[in-house]
Amino acid sequence: MQPKQHPVLKWLGRVVFVLLIALSLALIFNEQIKSWLVSSYSPTVTTKSVAKNKKKAGNFDFTKVKSLDFQTVAKARLNKSAINVIGSISIPSVELYLPIGKGVSNETLALAAGTMKADQTMGTGNYALAGHHMIKHGALFSPLYYKSQVGQMIYLSDAKNIYAYRTSERTFIQATDVQVIDDVPGQKLVTLITCDKTGAGRLMIRGKYVQQWSFDQAPQAVQKSFTSHFNNKY
């Protein structure tokens, strides 16, 4: 007859078994869970919250940006209050709808598009945004890589107004070509930067300013492209 196992050891064995199963499932579905954590981030964007967040400091140190692994995304969701949302971007033709956070901290870029320069203002200068490219084609700035074309409309909103740009350029650049985010005298631009497929280079989407509306005066379809995808209360 085999000796009876101690109840505590039996309980510990079950706990370890459950933990191993949970760890195995997490490893198997790592990418799916990461994509869900990113895609389900839906902050409230209001004129009041935008005005408040614009006054906060932003991190614009590109050298500290990490690749988008599971730990970075999970940390960002746990610390989502650190993301200072100052607006939204919508590109309906590629099904891109994202909050815009101030700066390029890892928390911000894990869940939103990030402003690349301090004190940017929509509708003036060269409004530059960075965003990660993920395996999931619809997450973060991935639609830019797979679906963007010259001629498509890009809309930015600070909750008070909506600013319309038309895509004028889609080009691959070197990671060191940081001058593309500089202002261009006499031009109002939006510049969107994401990684290429290798991660070593960059894809740049540039749009030229067309017009702006107060939020409630914009075409209904444009308004809806923001309000139907976020918990927004303009």
- Which sequence positions are flagged as catalytic? 132, 195
Instruction: Please tell me the distance from the alpha carbon of residue 153 to that of residue 142, in angstroms, as a whole number.
Output: 17
Check the CA dihedral 76-77-81-85 and report its sign.
Answer: positive
- Rounded to the nearest 5°, which phi and psi values hold at 115? -70, 140
Q: Give strand ranges (E) for 62-198.
A: 85-91, 96-101, 113-115, 126-130, 153-157, 161-173, 189-195
Instruction: Please tell me the distance from the alpha carbon of residue 41 to that of residue 100, in angstroms, as a whole number.
Output: 12
CA-nearest of 130, 94, 40, 36 to 225 is: 94
DSSP assigned state of 124: S
Residues ≥6 apart with Cβ < 8 Å to 122: 87, 156, 157, 158, 161, 163, 212
- Ramachandran area for residue 82 (φ above 0: left; ψ -120 to 50: alpha; else beta): alpha
Q: Which residue has the tokens 């960059």?
A: 202
- Rounded to the nearest 5°, which phi and psi values hold at 194? -145, 170
